[in-house]
């Protein structure tokens, strides 16, 4: 399992939100490229980038910092989400060196679109499912849908997505620990890789996730914890590697 540092972009800056609320943000850096370098130096094997303005606008707003980081680290796999709504945006990001594009609200609102985009860009599409109490949230977490998260994940698996990013939005950005049980339940219900997100606080969360009853959780996105220092990225990855080998 790999730890995947999150770089969330708002107004060109690197920030973290609490429970997806745009007004409740903490600015960690004015220089996203410098932040990426920091995580690369700490041994990051993949980056998770989110265009927060784009997620609310429905189109890319912070694409330039993404391009700069992809250009600076051509061998580093990058997954990006936020404001991706069409094939043109996917193509632009892939051309810039991004490895995977993440669809969230668009995927839930228009499930047929996912099968089409997966056919056009096989292996490069990830769906992000943000859930609370087993139901999928949309539109920057501002609305809960009636969709069951496991049903949707199985649907998207059949459509050909490369992975599912699963976020428990009640935990995200709150430093309350990861919902390992819900993440494991989802991972055991599908065959494609699941990337855990939301709530990783400490090295004990890394340990708990590695010891979960599934090998299908291939990664965990971590944000506020590594920025505020409650989790050391290099130490967390070292533990994950040791437990994976064990």
Q: Annotated active-site positions, please?
A: 8, 130
CB atoms within 10 A of CB 81: 22
The Cα–Cα gap between 163 and 153 comes to 9
The Cα–Cα gap between 16 and 4 comes to 15
Return the closest-CA partner of residue 201 out of 245, 231, 221, 233: 231
Q: Which residues contact 198 (CB under 8 A, 6 or more apart)?
A: 130, 166, 167, 168, 169, 171, 172, 173, 178, 179, 221
Location of structure tokens 């996105």:
221
**Beta strand 217-222 with 194-197: parallel, antiparallel or unpaired?**
parallel
The Cα–Cα gap between 149 and 132 comes to 9
Return the closest-CA partner of residue 105 out of 127, 121, 132: 127
Taking a C-beta distance cutoff of 8 angstroms, is the pair 26, 241 a contact? no
């Amino acid at each position: 399992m790999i730890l995947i540092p999150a770089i969330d972009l708002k107004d060109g800056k690197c920030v973290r939100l609490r429970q997806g609320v745009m007004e409740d943000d903490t600015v960690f850096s004015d220089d996203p490229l410098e932040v990426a370098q920091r995580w690369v130096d700490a041994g990051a094997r993949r980056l998770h980038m989110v265009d927060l303005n784009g997620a609310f606008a429905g189109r890319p707003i912070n694409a330039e910092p993404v391009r700069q980081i992809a250009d600076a680290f051509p061998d580093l796999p990058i997954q990006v989400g936020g404001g991706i709504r069409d094939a043109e945006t996917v193509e632009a990001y892939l051309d810039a060196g991004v490895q995977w594009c993440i669809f969230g609200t668009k995927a839930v609102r228009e499930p047929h679109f996912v099968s089409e985009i997966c056919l056009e860009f096989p292996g490069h599409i990830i769906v992000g499912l943000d859930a609370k109490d087993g139901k999928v949230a949309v539109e920057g977490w501002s609305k809960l849908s009636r969709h069951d998260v496991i049903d949707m994940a199985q649907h998207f698996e059949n459509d050909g997505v490369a992975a599912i990013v699963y976020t428990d939005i009640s935990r995200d950005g709150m430093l309350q620990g990861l919902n390992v049980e819900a993440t494991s339940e989802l991972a055991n219900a599908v065959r494609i890789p699941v990337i855990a997100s939301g709530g990783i606080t400490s090295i004990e969360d890394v340990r708990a996730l590695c010891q979960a009853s599934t090998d299908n959780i291939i990664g965990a996105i971590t944000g506020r914890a590594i920025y505020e220092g409650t989790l050391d990225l290099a130490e967390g990855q070292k533990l994950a590697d040791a437990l994976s080998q064990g």
